[in-house]
Amino acid sequence: MIVSVKEFPNVRLVNHPLIRQKLTLCRSKQTTNQTFRLLLNEITALMVYELASDYPTRRVEIETPLQKTTGDELATDVILVPILRAGLGMTHEVMQLIPRARVGHLGLYRDETTLLPIKYYSKLPPNLADSEVIVIDPMLATGGSLSAAVTLLKKAGARRIKLLCLVAAPEGIRRMLNDHPEIPVFTAAIDEKLNPRGFILPGLGDAGDRLFGTA
Ligand code: PRP
């Protein structure tokens, strides 16, 4: 179920008992890297189900073993843009559900002192302008990375963009609301705040580290 949040009109809070339970396990420091990856996949599937609910479809003719009939197929191209590294942890699952999706990669890391995003890689597929674009990053902290990613994608022609996050801080949501108010932010949780080092509280730590065991 999608819940609106009065204070943040750009947020689409995906609220479901299964997601809340899995996210709770993701947050626990006792959860292993392997289990964290599995849980993130499961949550991603549940969230994409909601995110894609307004995607257009067209009628197609098919033949069952018994007779001809009509069915539906997606009538739009979909481009996924994971923000390296942590966005990779959700991307495979989205591709399982939308197999024809193409993937553009954006490498951004946050400078630990300034907290500003530094771009180190960009490889985007063509036809951004005519595609539904899903920007994927489990963590929305200051919002610097996702705001820069959306600015870059708009410059490259993207017109229909949605963000897929796992946990969002109020500071980052406000930043997105200010910089890109029309872009919906799908998240499973709105956390309390950032700590002085720009980490989300209570959060779940560094998603990239937990996915890839680099902590
Ligand atoms: C983390 C996270 C986001 C970003 C969020 O990545 O995955 O991309 O920080 O912070 P922001 O909203 O303040 O920009 P990080 O820079 O740690 O890189 P990593 O994914 O390679 O670990």
The full set of domain ranges for the chain reads 2-55+74-212
Q: What global pTM score does this model have? A: 0.96
Q: Which fold has domain 2-55+74-212?
A: Rossmann fold (3.40.50)
73, 84, 153 from 81: Cα distances, Å = 22, 9, 9
d(CA 130, CA 200): 34
Name the active-site residue from 110, 160, 174, 179: 110
Q: Is 110 among the catalytic positions?
A: yes
Q: How far is the CA of 20 from the centre of ligand 1 (A)?
A: 22
Reported confidence tier of residue 215, pLDDT bands at 50, 70, 90: confident
- Ligand 1 and 212: CB distance under 6 A: no
What is the predicted pLDDT for the residue at 53?
97
- Ligand 1 and 109: CB distance under 6 A: yes
Q: Is 206 among the catalytic positions?
A: yes
Q: Is 114 among the catalytic positions?
A: yes
Q: How far is the CA of 192 from the centre of ligand 1 (A)?
A: 18
pLDDT in tens, 118-177: 999 999 999 999 999 999 999 999 999 999 999 999 999 999 999 999 999 999 999 999
Reported confidence tier of residue 115, pLDDT bands at 50, 70, 90: confident
Q: Whose CA is nearest to atom 2 of ligand 1?
A: 139
Q: Ligand 1, from 90, 106, 136, 145: best to mutate by most atoms within 8 Å of Cβ?
A: 145
